[in-house]
Structure 1
Amino acid sequence: MKHAIVFLLVLMLSSCEYFKVKKTSSEAILNEELKTFNWNDVDEYPNFTVCDESASKAARQTCFQNTLTHHITNFLQDEGIVVSRDINDTILLEFQVSKTGDLSLINASVDSLTIDEIPNIDDLLNQSLTGLPRIFPAIKRGQQVTTEFKLPLIIRVN
Structure 2
Amino acid sequence: MKYPLIFLLMLLLVSCNYFDVKKTSSEAILNEELKTFNWNDVDTYPSFSSCDSLNSKVEKKQCFEYTLSSHILKYLQDEIIVVTQDVNDTIGLHFKVSETGVLTLVETKIDSLTLKEIPNILELIKISLDSLPEVFPGIKRGQQVKTEFKLPIIISVE
Find out whether 1:148 has 2:143 as its counterpart.
no
Using the alignment, how far apart are the partners of 2:109 and 2:37 within structure 1? Answer: 30
Unpaired stretches in structure 2, ≥5 consecutive residues: none
| Residue in 2 that maps onto 1:30 | 30
Find out whether 1:111 has 2:111 as its counterpart.
yes
Deviation readout 1:46-101 (Å, 9 max, x if unpaired):
01011134421111111100000000000111111111111111011000010000
Using the alignment, how far apart are the partners of 2:9 and 2:118 within structure 1? Answer: 90
| Residue in 2 that maps onto 1:40 | 40
Using the alignment, how far apart are the partners of 1:41 and 1:88 within structure 2? Answer: 33
Are the counterparts in 2 of residues 50 and 133 from structure 1 also a CA contact under 8 Å?
no
Q: Percent identity?
A: 63
Give 3-state SS (helix, strand or coil) of 1:17's partner.
Answer: helix
Using the alignment, how far apart are the partners of 1:88 and 1:13 within structure 2? Answer: 83
Give 3-state SS (helix, strand or coil) of 2:130's partner.
Answer: coil
Deviation readout 1:118-151 (Å, 9 max, x if unpaired):
1111111111101111111000000000000000
- Give the aligned CA root-mean-square deviation in angstroms: 0.9
Residues 49 and 4 of structure 1: is their aligned pair in 2 closer, same or farther, counting only changes over 3 Å?
A: same
Give 3-state SS (helix, strand or coil) of 1:136's partner.
Answer: coil
| Residue in 1 that maps onto 2:52 | 52
Find out whether 1:77 has 2:84 as its counterpart.
no
Letter in 1 for 2:149: F
TM-score by length of 1: 0.97
Using the alignment, how far apart are the partners of 1:55 and 1:80 within structure 2? Answer: 38
Using the alignment, how far apart are the partners of 1:24 and 1:145 within structure 2? Answer: 29
Give 3-state SS (helix, strand or coil) of 1:21's partner.
Answer: coil
Letter in 2 for 1:82: V
Give 3-state SS (helix, strand or coil) of 2:60's partner.
Answer: helix
| Residue in 1 that maps onto 2:122 | 122
